[in-house]
Amino acid sequence: MNKTLLTAALVVVGGAALFAGDIFRFRGENSQGMYLKEKGLLKTWPQEGLTPKWTYTGLGEGWSSPIKVGNRLYITGTGTGRPRKESVICLDLDGKEIWKTVTGSAWERSYPGARSTPTYVPGEKEGEGRLVATTGSGELFCLNAADGKILWQKNIANEYGSKFGMWAMAECPVVKDGVVFVTAGGSKALVVALKVADGSVVWTAKSNDDTLAYVTPVIVGDQLIVMTAGKVNGINLKDGTVMWEDNYAKTSGTNGRGGVNCNSPTVEDNRFFVSAGYDQGGVLYELKKDGKGVNVIWTNKKLDPHHDCTVLVDGKLYGSNWTSNNSGNWMCVDWESGETLYEGPWSNLGKGCVIYADGLIYMYEEKRGTLAIAKPGEKLDVVSSFQIKFGDKEHWAHPVICDGILYLRHGNVLGAFDIKAK
């Protein structure tokens, strides 16, 4: 790359030079799955599908996604020994391992494996970046991104009495202004805020007496939007005050099993769409001007992604819904009214996750591992698709797109696909 192009491709964040398209956290900025800086991507794929430019085998069990910072990738995995231990793994952009650091205890019960995507925090100087990551057992680790050295750690579950659901702690850390926020979901605190610099506690938010869900929080205005098993809360980012609480399971007006919430809300301005699978439906909330409550704009009983999230494109929500653990339809819903514009099957395939980049929706269904691109609109318009051949177990990891490369994890394997238009 020539000097002029290199300069244009870099930005300065916290004194460190990083590529403009870098992905610091799960599903990108505010966990929205919108990779808006990606341009010049393929609009169709070869009939035989895409071939990965490389694969890395050695992640261990898990469903976390990678993040990309400069010339490195970071991802979590689980070892095979007993008791299981989780690791943070650093790769170069050719899929070669740079370092691997064993962190804490993995979840040993239902679906053992790494859940949390690490979050990158820029340092004041280049090379001083840090990573924060949680384990399934509720431990929080801060590592030096350069060499993987553990700088500090906290056992959130033990310290704050976390009440786990069936599948442990599965959220990804949220960081703003040098503070990391973690949903403790415990008897002593709902959320804990700690300084990334040294792990010292900034504040704790009062317990809401609920069980942990599996949702990575999002930021709306000056509030952290947090979901637990049956509730959604707004937490003041500066001091941890619980500004409001709503019984999501009741507001959605459905008869779902409740308590299994996995989706980061989809956000636009002061509105956010909250959803969960198992026939729990979806709700569009609007934060009140004084920040002390929410208005319900609409509910949609059909749009209930399992653990796949939604994307908002040109005033329309896209995602799949839950009809059973093995099946679901694909949907398009009007953001303003909540009207279902489309609901239907994708061939004989099931539900899956969605992200967006360069005018196309990327769909990764979980039944057979089919990856596809589709045109946004009031119908399911799949342009190209192929089946992922590497890895094993569930197709639950969310794809990531950065600098024209699509990264996809399937079990023990991470693959990189070049999707730049030639």
Statement: residue 17 has pLDDT above 90: no
User: 111 with 167: CB under 8 angstroms?
Assistant: yes
What per-residue confidence (pLDDT) applies to 79?
Answer: 83
Question: Taking the CA atoms of the chain, what radius of gyration do you get in angstroms?
Answer: 20
The one-letter code for the residue type at 373 is I
Q: Please compute the mean of the pLDDT values over residues 340-352 and round it to a whole number.
A: 94
Q: Which of 20, 92, 13 is nearest to 402 (CA)?
A: 20
Partners of 72 in the beta sheet? 69, 92
What per-residue confidence (pLDDT) applies to 12?
Answer: 39
pLDDT in tens, 150-181: 999 999 999 999 999 889 899 999 999 999 99
Partners of 76 in the beta sheet? 88
Statement: residue 141 has pLDDT above 90: yes
Percent share of the chain, pLDDT over 90: 83
The set of residues, in sequence order, having a beta carbon less than 8 Å from that of 55 and lying 6+ positions away, is: 95, 390, 413, 414, 415, 416
pLDDT in tens, 53-82: 999 999 999 999 999 999 999 999 998 778
Q: Quote the tokens at residue 184.
A: 């403790």
Percent share of the chain, pLDDT over 70: 94
Of 10-14, 83-87, 120-124, 416-420, where does the model show the most confidence? 416-420
The set of residues, in sequence order, having a beta carbon less than 8 Å from that of 192 and lying 6+ positions away, is: 156, 160, 181, 182, 184, 201, 204, 205
What per-residue confidence (pLDDT) applies to 130?
Answer: 98
Q: What does the alpha-carbon distance between residue 343 and residue 326 come to, in Å, rounded to a whole number? A: 17
Estimate to the nearest angstrom the gap between the alpha carbon of 114 and the chain centroid. Answer: 13
pLDDT band at residue 218 using 50, 70 and 90 as cut-offs: very high
Give the 3-state secondary structure of the chain: CCHHHHHHHEEEECCEEEECCCECCCCCHHHCCECCCCCCECCCCCCCCCCCCEEEECCCCECCCCEEECCEEEEEEECCCCCCEEEEEEEECCCCEEEEEEEEECCCCCCCCECCCCEEECCCCCCCCEEEEECCCCEEEEEECCCCCEEEEEEHHHHHCECCCCCCCCCCCEEECCEEEEECCECCCCEEEEECCCCCEEEEECCCCCCECCCCCEEECCEEEEEECCCEEEEECCCCCEEEEECHHHHCCCCCCCCCCCCCCEEECCEEEEECCCCCCEEEEEECCCCCCEEEEEEECCCCCCCCCCEEECCEEEEECCCECCECCEEEEECCCCCEEEEECECCECCEEEEEECCEEEEEECCCCEEEEEECCCCCEEEEEEECCCCCCCCCCCCEEECCEEEEEECCEEEEEECECC
User: 413 with 397: CB under 8 angstroms?
Assistant: no
Q: What does the alpha-carbon distance between residue 52 and residue 422 come to, in Å, rounded to a whole number? A: 16
Residue 381 phi/psi, 5° resolution? -120, 80
Q: Please compute the mean of the pLDDT values over residues 187-201 and round it to a whole number.
A: 98
Q: Please compute the mean of the pLDDT values over residues 116-133 and round it to a whole number.
A: 91
The mean predicted confidence, pLDDT, of the chain is 92
What per-residue confidence (pLDDT) applies to 18?
Answer: 53
Statement: residue 401 has pLDDT above 70: yes
Comparing 409 with 1, the larger pLDDT belongs to 409
Statement: residue 26 has pLDDT above 80: yes
